[in-house]
Structure 1
Amino acid sequence: MITDDLHRMAGAYALHALPDDEREAFERHLAGCAPCAQESAELAATAARLGLAAAAAPRREMREQVLRRIGTVRQESPGTADTARAGRGTARGAVLGRWALAACLAGATALGGTAWWQYDRAQEAVRREAAAERQSAEIAAVLSAPDATTRAGRLPDGARGSVVVSRARDRAVFVVSGLPRPPGGKTYQLWFDDGGTMRSAGLLDPGRGARAVLMQGAVGRSSGMGVTVEPAGGSARPTTAPLALMEFA
């Protein structure tokens, strides 16, 4: 590998884009080439700062433009004794070349950050959808279970609730309608009644209209359930009188 080729590897080295053999050769070259060492350090710092910057979503055509630019613009070699003796025109060209590389780094970093953010958001959406599908399937299984039993109860402000229990599946579903939003900083919480000891069965977002909620945890030996108003985030034990109590069949 000739020295001129090594001089042009600073940008790829700063982005960890060199194969192992070229990276090792360039690192040996760095030990005796102060200009390359300085340029590599500067480009690595620029890439790190760009990676920490808040990035806006790039235009769709930006990726193709950056890739075309990378393929047609060669990186300028860092300053050498010959470069130092060159005129102002050559020096200006080297500076412009460095700015062009920095622009490519900026584009690549923004694209990479945006792509990763989009991928992460997409994966999170897939996970939420899969969890919702599993819960919907479990709710349907409880409601249609051959041994399902239902108990209804009244809630404040004309709201109504009922609990469907399947002992065979060891799960319960709470169905509620007309329940208003809780006061600010508060939430509704469901409870299993384990022989007088209340065990959390999850939080309830009333939403609009009727909705069915899969109560968290196994029914076990619970004899009933309750609903309370708790601080946002829920409580380990009920802190208010229950809005409703319903016994299981």
Structure 2
Amino acid sequence: MTTADPHTLTGAYALHALTHDEREEFRRHLAACEPCTQETAELSATATRLALAVSLTPRPALRAQVLHQITTVRQDTPRRPLLPKTARTARRGRLLPRWALAASLAAAAALGTTAAWQHQRAEDALQQARQSQQQTDRIAAVLAAPDAKTRATTLPGGATGTLTVSDHQDKAVLAVTAMTDPPPGKVYQLWFNTHGTMRPAGLMDPTRSNQSVLMDGLHDATGMGITLEPTGGSPQPTTTPLTQMNLPT
């Protein structure tokens, strides 16, 4: 690892600028250094806010342009090698009367099927983009709320997390870094804890080690926890919480 003072590496760690060996050694340092843990969490939250601040919403006219081009831009078709002119003329004379109508009908049907498939693909992509943008906007609203409060935590496997809550938004955001993959068929589930009563607060994406999860319905929660649950989540925890923490005040 670099000989630099580990207390000066919080920014590089938050921006994923350390090598694998440096990151592992710095994680061990975090386990014994509360100031660095807090500073790393705050820098990670700031980096997340800056990234969200430059996200762009697609122009309203983009959807119409995409759908218009789907119906006007034709797909390239394979080309056969050219025959000699006399052979082409004779072949065309034999085949055109027999197959002209059938080929035209088949081409029209294929074009219609392709256009419909492309239209549906475009609709699905636009819907996913809208949902992703809406989720990003909700997370950004919590992180930028005037009453937002933040607390850092250490998660299983050496991962780090930053919990941001906004009573005004009635939501919380958990931003995690270097989260280990859950076992096959399992998912990390988040919970709000209200004086010992746990209620579902969201699921983490099992394919992403770095992510921000929106937790809706803060209400009168006093803490939060993470458990390992079957894919799809559970209405109540089925395993011992991997971590629990009080909400920042």
TM-score bin (small chain)? 0.5 to 0.7
Mark the runs of 5 or more structure 1 residues left unpaired by the alignment. Answer: 1-58, 63-92
Counterpart check, 1:181 vs 2:181? yes
Q: For residues 137-166 of structure 1, what are the alpha-carbon distances to aligned partners after superposition, in whole Å with 9 as ceiling and x for unaligned?
A: 221111121111112222111111121000
- Displacement of 1:99 in angstroms is 4.6
Cα distance change, pair 116–195 in 1 and its aligned pair in 2 (3 A): farther
- Aligned pair count reads 160
Q: For residues 103-123 of structure 1, what are the alpha-carbon distances to aligned partners after superposition, in whole Å with 9 as ceiling and x for unaligned?
A: 322222221111111111111
Mark the runs of 5 or more structure 2 residues left unpaired by the alignment. Answer: 1-73, 78-93
Q: For residues 3-54 of structure 1, what are the alpha-carbon distances to aligned partners after superposition, in whole Å with 9 as ceiling and x for unaligned?
A: xxxxxxxxxxxxxxxxxxxxxxxxxxxxxxxxxxxxxxxxxxxxxxxxxxxx
Within 5 Å, which residues of 2 pair with 1:141-220?
Answer: 141-205=141-205, 207=207, 210-215=210-215, 217-220=216-219
Provide the residue aligned with 2:228 in structure 1: 229
Within 5 Å, which residues of 2 pair with 1:23-172?
Answer: 60=75, 99-172=99-172
- Displacement of 1:244 in angstroms is 0.9
- Displacement of 1:198 in angstroms is 1.9
Equivalent AA in structure 2 for residue 131 of structure 1 = Q
Provide the TM-score with structure 1 as the length reference: 0.58
- Percent of residue pairs bearing the same amino acid type: 52
Report the structure number with the largest CA radius of gyration.
1
- 8 Å contact kept, 2:204–2:213: yes
Provide the residue aligned with 2:3 in structure 1: none
Cα distance change, pair 61–162 in 1 and its aligned pair in 2 (3 A): closer
Q: Distance in 2 between matches of 1:203 and 1:194?
A: 18
Structure 1 runs, 4 residues or longer, greater than 4 Å off = 95-99, 206-209
Equivalent AA in structure 2 for residue 60 of structure 1 = Q
Q: Distance in 2 between matches of 1:172 and 1:139?
A: 8
- 8 Å contact kept, 1:191–1:225: yes
- 8 Å contact kept, 2:181–2:209: no
Provide the TM-score with structure 2 as the length reference: 0.58
